[in-house]
């Protein structure tokens, strides 16, 4: 299976915060096929432990997150349309005029839904100027006649609504257009790493897998770090590229992001030195990144008695929308980086990172 085929498989799965089951099932299937025995935390995170034979081996966690941004039905109107609350961060401007799937918890059905876009015809002669809508004002429409028909088809408050898209290659074959690269990137990263490590012995014990509910407050990372008690934590996550908006902070195709700062996390000096040395030795292309949002590293580093953490990331254009553009070469660089990290770590290096 090509890298694109793997990306297509994972990004077209529809699974969101608190409803990560379809991605978790896929990860479990792939991990088991490799010969691993996955285990779960109480919220549904999935992890494999690769135990070192070295005495006093440090425990290092590498974690993606499975959820993508979506919506939950909060009300059903008399005309049969829905209103929602967001699961994760959405720019209202990218929501209207898109296709979604509603997952009926009562009927076990997948129901096609679109978001209402106001036609220009209805603005003519009104002297009205369209404003920024609130998420709660956006119309979600499945074409039902009224609320009774929606109920008859099994639609209920609390049902999940997730973007529906097809994953495709760009014309030059270098990039992928998809939903959910945040963070199916990380899910594929951990699968590829597990495959690479199948027959390798290392001086660190690795806990590798994926958390739940990152998009709604980094919740799964708190649970997982409490359960497995790592000494270091590496999130693998995707961040927004801003290169098409006149900003060099996050450029597509420029390699692995060195996330020095985000609102909930600052990279510690020992971690920065280790990552810089590792990238140089492994000839990994990197780019500095100053983030405006967080990753699971922000929750992990505050867990237990404090866990030095960072993010091994890539950036992609237009994330948290139906159509993200991501770079195949960036994924390759990130995979090269995470492999170099796990092969370089040992007790002495972990202690050096912790005791900067």
Residues marked as catalytic:
214
Residue 182 marked as a ligand binder: yes
Q: Is 320 annotated as a binding residue?
A: yes
237 is in an annotated binding site: yes
Ligand-binding annotation for 322, yes or no, is no
**Residues 189, 302, 48, 319, CA torsion sign:** negative
SS3 sequence, the chain? CCHHHHHHHHHCCCCECCECHHHHHHHHHHHHHCCCCCEECCCCCEEEEECCCCCCCCEEEEEEECCECEEEEEEECCCCCEEEEEECCCCHHHCCCCEEEEECCCCCCEEEEEECCCCHHHHCCCCCCCCCCCHHHCCEECCCCCHHHHHHCCCCCCCEEEECCCCEECCCCCEEEECCHHHHHHHHHHHHHHHHHCCCCCCCEEEEEEECCCCCCCHHHHHHHHHHCCCEEEECCEEEECHHHCCCCCCCCCCEEEEEEECCEECCHHHHHHHHHHHHHHCCCEEEEECCCCCHHHHHCCCCCCCCEEEEEEEEECCCCCCEEEEHHHHHHHHHHHHHHHHHCCHHHHHHHHCC
The answer for 18, left when phi > 0, alpha when psi is -120 to 50, beta otherwise, is: left
Which residue numbers belong to the known binding site? 65, 182, 215, 237, 320
Which residue numbers belong to the known binding site for Zn(2+)? 65, 182, 215, 237, 320
């Amino acid at each position: 299976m090509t890298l694109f085929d793997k990306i297509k498989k994972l990004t077209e799965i529809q699974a969101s915060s608190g409803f990560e089951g379809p991605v978790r099932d896929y990860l479990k299937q792939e991990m088991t096929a490799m010969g691993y025995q996955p285990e779960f935390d109480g919220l549904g995170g999935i992890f494999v432990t690769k135990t070192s034979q070295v005495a006093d081996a440090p425990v290092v966690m590498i974690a993606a997150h499975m959820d993508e941004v979506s919506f939950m039905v909060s009300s059903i109107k008399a005309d049969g349309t829905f209103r929602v609350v967001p699961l994760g961060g959405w720019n209202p401007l990218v929501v209207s005029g898109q296709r979604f799937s509603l997952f009926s918890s009562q009927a076990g059905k997948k129901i096609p839904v679109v978001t209402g876009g106001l036609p220009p015809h209805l603005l003519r002669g009104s002297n009205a100027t369209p404003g920024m809508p609130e998420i709660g004002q956006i119309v979600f429409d499945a074409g039902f006649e009224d609320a009774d028909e929606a109920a008859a088809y099994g639609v209920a408050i609390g049902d999940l609504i997730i973007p529906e898209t097809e994953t495709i290659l760009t014309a030059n074959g270098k990039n992928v257009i998809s939903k959910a690269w945040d963070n199916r990137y990380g899910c594929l990263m951990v699968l590829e790493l597990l495959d690479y490590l199948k027959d390798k012995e290392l001086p660190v014990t690795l806990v590798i897998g994926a958390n739940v509910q990152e998009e709604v407050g980094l919740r799964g990372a708190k649970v997982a770090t409490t359960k497995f008690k790592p000494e270091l934590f590496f999130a693998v996550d995707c961040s927004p590229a801003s290169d098409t908006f006149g900003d060099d902070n996050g450029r597509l195709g420029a390699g692995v992001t060195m996330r020095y700062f985000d609102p909930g996390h600052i990279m510690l000096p020992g971690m920065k030195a280790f990552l810089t040395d590792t990238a140089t030795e492994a000839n990994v292309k990197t780019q500095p990144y100053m983030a405006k949002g967080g990753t699971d590293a922000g929750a992990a580093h505050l867990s237990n008695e404090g866990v030095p953490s960072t993010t091994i990331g890539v950036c992609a254009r237009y994330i948290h929308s139906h159509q993200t553009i991501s770079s195949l070469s960036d994924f390759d660089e990130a995979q090269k980086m995470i492999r170099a990290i796990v092969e370089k770590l040992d007790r002495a290096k972990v202690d050096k990172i912790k005791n900067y």
